[in-house]
Structure 1
Amino acid sequence: MPSYRTIGLMSGTSLDGVDAACCRIEMPATDEPLTETTIELEASITDEYDAEFRRFIEGLCTDTATIDDLAYADIAVGKRFARAVNRLCSTAGIDPKRVDLLGSHGQTVWHAPQQRDLPGDLGKTNTTLQIGDESVLAAETGIDAVGDFRRADIAAGGHGAPLSPLLDWLQFADGGEHRIVQNIGGIGNCTLLPRGPTRADVTAFDTGPGNMVIDAVVQAVTDGEQRYDDGGRLAATGTVDEAFLETLLDDAYFEMEPPKSTGRERYGGSYVETLLAEARNRGLEAADLVATATALTSASIADAYNRYVPFEPDRVIVSGGGAWNDTLLSQLEARLSCPVETSGDRGIDPDFREAALFGLLGALFREERPGSLPSVTGADRAAILGTRAKRP
């Protein structure tokens, strides 16, 4: 049974920082079911972005970013991810020489799931862009780095997202329950796990905004003193403006059928500016606005289940930063007819589920085994994901 020690690296659309998770991955032989894979988190840290670096990345997630900006940022993000690896190794007493590889998601700066015409007779494609040079990462850590995981799925006709359902299938599927794994990072995405699913039974899609809109609203109403609503405490003191919420739910993205994915380009700065302007016109108090933004996330998730999930879930398992927002979880449970719990109750820290995923995908790359789920991404075939940069 192949065994790997990997460090998975993830920075999501919330731009909180780099999540780094050292994982022990035991994989079955190639003639055995992949469901026999075990993943153990040995150590983890979040290396937070400072305000300057966060603004730097936010500036790239716009249609005004220049090629020059992106070229330099690719190196900067690689260095920033390397710093997270080195800090994890230092704080946890991990010898880098005993780490088999790094699996790095990089930093998404643009996600364009809609097909667009290419020049001449080259056809159409969708695309996605993650930066964070793997060669820099390998050079500054002394560990082979695997990254750029999404492009192989796009080459196979998929969206390149979401990728986390693979881990959800291996860790959370159950023979006796219909389950949904709901990640609430900057964007919300759900993995649908019917009872005893095979690889082909797993489906997933992005539900819409997760923490992204809530965080931006909190920063606006507190003049930057708070970056997020800790525990949902501010939302808990407010009242949801149901009429405004209904307006926000009248969104073309929610009408789109899966497979679908979205990101900061849709629910980022421009979206929030429009939302804030409308809130001012309606005279909403700060706490009421945060409560309404929180309800947008919970209501859009529940609405997605009602529209697009072909079974009644027996359980919803939440991961991501939203797992720590008690008000959000309470709102969600009130809209559903099943228990809502966190992935921590099932052995995967909510903050490090996606970092663990990229540690797993790195191991699959090393084994030359597919890491994508075509039933999720819409691809024509399963693909081996990633490219590798060798350490010096």
Structure 2
Amino acid sequence: MSSPASGPSAPSPRLCIGLLSGTSVDAAEAALCRVEGTGAQVTLELLAHVSRPFPPAFIQRVLTANDARTLCALNFELGERFASAALDVIAHAGLSPWDIHVIGSHGQTVAHLPASLSPFPSTLQLGEAAVIAERTGIPVVSDFRTRDMAAGGEGAPLIPYLDWAVFRKAGTARAFQNIGGIANLAVVGDRMEDTLAFDTGPGNMLLDGLARRITQDQLACDLDGQLSRRGQVLPDLLEELLALPFFAQPPPRSAGREGFGGALLERLWERGASRPYDLMATALAFTVESMARAYETHVLPRFGSLEAVYVSGGGTRNPYLMGRFTERLAPLPVRLLDTLGFPEGAKEAACFALLAAEHLAGTPANVPSATGARRQVVLGKLTP
């Protein structure tokens, strides 16, 4: 196995693995990438990607964990699951752990409390790095969000560094919309300091929760839009949701399960349990409208025009959601990230492969214009 490097002489190219599970807590994602160079000269090539779904009972344990003993056990169990995904992607690529320079593990977010939610901004991701390092024999960089928060940032979003480093196009502005549990966007151009990025609000989080309620756990999501298509939007409820204080915050801003998770789901269910499909239609409209208004309020006034909006995340697999979003943003082109030659399902995991490589190089990889941090900092903590 190659030994970890430090400082600007980090080996190049480096074989790096990125790991994460998103706010939807649906799977452990692993992406194996070849990273060459650093900073503005960095390049990334995706070599392999695997997704290892979590069992429904495990998902429920993560979503309901609220005491120290449960979180303690989940931290190590998630470490085991991430380590297994890392070994799977190595085998899928026909390589050995000895070939890999570093693993970057984002882990599973169980709490994210930016300044808008707490007098002590903080964040917590589980998935013990020592377990991953011990099972794989590969150095692990983890806890990417904490240093940005210590520097005054929101700790999110982190994906804009990948958007700028890998997908920018000279002389034009491109937007990248992710629809995961939480939805977020980034607009990148020639200079990293001009990047605009922030969470737009809910992505699939409310849709997933409602789908589980409506189908009594037979469906974990609004599969192909089959549930939301059956309902009618409740206009008054939609406007009430769009009036939540989060949407009055200017960027940079970040969101999590605290704002758009279980508590909001309970409020919606109390309001409309007798009209479940109308609730689902309203939740989908809430996701679409909050994303669209983010462009109208914060993006287009600043950039004037965009080449296109490139979409990734689990929401891309809901054709009804994608159709509504495309119609709402017209005539602005909405395209899948895959049209740029990169599989959208691997994007977020690949980001943490890149961030781990930049950690080894000693290169700051937060984007202060996106997170609100006072300065650029090197992200992550290394477990040899």
In 2, Cα distance between equivalents of 1:346 and 1:248: 34
Q: Does structure 1 residue 140 correspond to structure 2 residue 138?
A: no
Aligned residues: 370
RMSD value, Cα: 1.7
Q: C-alpha separation between the residues in 1 aligned to 2:267 and 2:348?
A: 30
Would you say the 8 A contact 1:23–1:359 is kept in 2? yes
Specify the SS of the correspondent of 2:47.
Answer: strand
Counterpart of 1:338 (choices 310, 326, 332) is 332
Q: What letter matches 1:298 in structure 2? A: V
Where does residue 47 of structure 1 map in the other structure? 52
Corresponding residue number in structure 2 for 1:284 = 275
Partner of 1:114, secondary structure, is coil
Mapped partners of 1:151, 1:347: distance in 2:
32
**Partner in structure 2 of residue 244 of structure 1:** 237
Distance 2:328 2:170 in 1: 25
Deviations 1:256-291 (A, max 9, x none): 1111101011111111111122123xx5252x3322
The CA distance in 1 between the partners of 2:248 and 2:327, in whole Å, is 23
Distance of aligned partners of 1:285 and 1:378 in 2 relative to their CA distance in 1, 3 Å threshold: closer
Letter in 2 for 1:172: F
Kindly provide the amino acid, as one letter, of the partner of residue 75 in structure 2: D
Question: Secondary structure of the equivalent of 2:364?
Answer: coil
User: Which position in structure 2 is the counterpart of 1:228?
Assistant: 221
The match for 2:289 among 299, 315, 319 is: 299
Aligned equivalent of 1:358, options 337, 341, 352? 352
* Aligned equivalents of 2:182, 2:276: Cα separation in 1: 25
- Give deviations 1:100-147, integer Å, cap 9, x for gaps: 110000110000002688xxxxxx641111111111110011111111
Structure-2 change in CA distance of 1:285 and 1:136 (3 Å)? closer
Distance 1:137 1:285, change over 3 A: closer
Greater shift after overlay, 124-133 or 43-52? 124-133
TM-fit CA distance, 1:343:
1.0
CA contact under 8 A between 1:115 and 1:125: conserved in structure 2? no
Match of 1:205 in 2: 198
> Does 1:17 find its partner at 2:11?
no
2 CA distance for matches of 1:216 and 1:253?
20
Equivalent positions of 1:187-206 (< 5 A) are 187-193=182-188, 196-206=189-199
1:155 paired residue number: 150
TM-score by length of 2: 0.92
AA partner of residue 324 (structure 1): R
CA pair 59-234 structure 1, distance change in 2 beyond 3 A: closer
Secondary structure at 1:314's aligned position in 2?
A: coil
Partner of residue 164 from structure 2, selected from 145, 169, 176: 169
Q: In structure 1, the residue corresponding to 2:131 is in which secondary structure? A: helix
Other structure's SS at 1:175 match: coil
Q: Distance in 1 between matches of 2:106 and 2:18?
A: 8
- The CA deviation string for residues 318-351 of structure 1, in whole angstroms up to 9 with x for no partner, is 1110111111111111111311111111122221
> What displacement does 1:313 show?
3.0
Q: Is the CA contact (8 Å cut-off) linking 2:12 and 2:36 kept in structure 1?
A: yes
Give 3-state SS (helix, strand or coil) of 2:221's partner. Answer: coil
Q: Which residue of 2 aligns with 1:264?
A: 257
1:232, distance to aligned residue in structure 2 (A):
2.1
State the alpha-carbon separation in 1 of the partners of residues 291 and 129 from structure 2: 34
Match of 1:38? 43
Give the distance between the partners of 2:194 and 2:82, measured in 1 at CA.
34
CA contact 2:16–2:353 (8 Å) conserved in 1 = yes
Residue identity in the other structure for 1:209: P
Query: Cα distance, 1:46 vs. partner?
Result: 0.7
Distance 1:330 1:145, change over 3 A: same
- Aligned-partner Cα distance in 1 for 2:317–2:196: 25
Amino acid at match of 2:206: V
Aligned-partner residue type, residue 22 of structure 1: L
SS of 1:379's equivalent in the other structure is coil
Report the more deviating stretch, 322-331 or 173-182. 173-182
What does 1:310-349 align with in structure 2 at a 5 Å threshold? 310-311=302-303, 312-336=305-329, 337-349=331-343
Per the normalisation by structure 1, the TM-score is 0.90
Separation (CA, whole Å) in 2 of partners of 1:219 and 1:125: 33
Answer yes or no: is the 8 Å Cα contact 1:177–1:315 preserved in 2: no
Contact 2:172 2:190 in 1 (8 A): no
List alignment gaps of at least 5 residues for structure 1: 29-33, 118-123
Q: Which one-letter code corresponds to 2:109 in the other structure?
A: T
1:36, 1:54 → 2: CA distance? 39
- Quickly say closer, same or farther: Cα 1:294–1:115, change in 2 above 3 A: closer
Matching residue's letter, 1:296: F
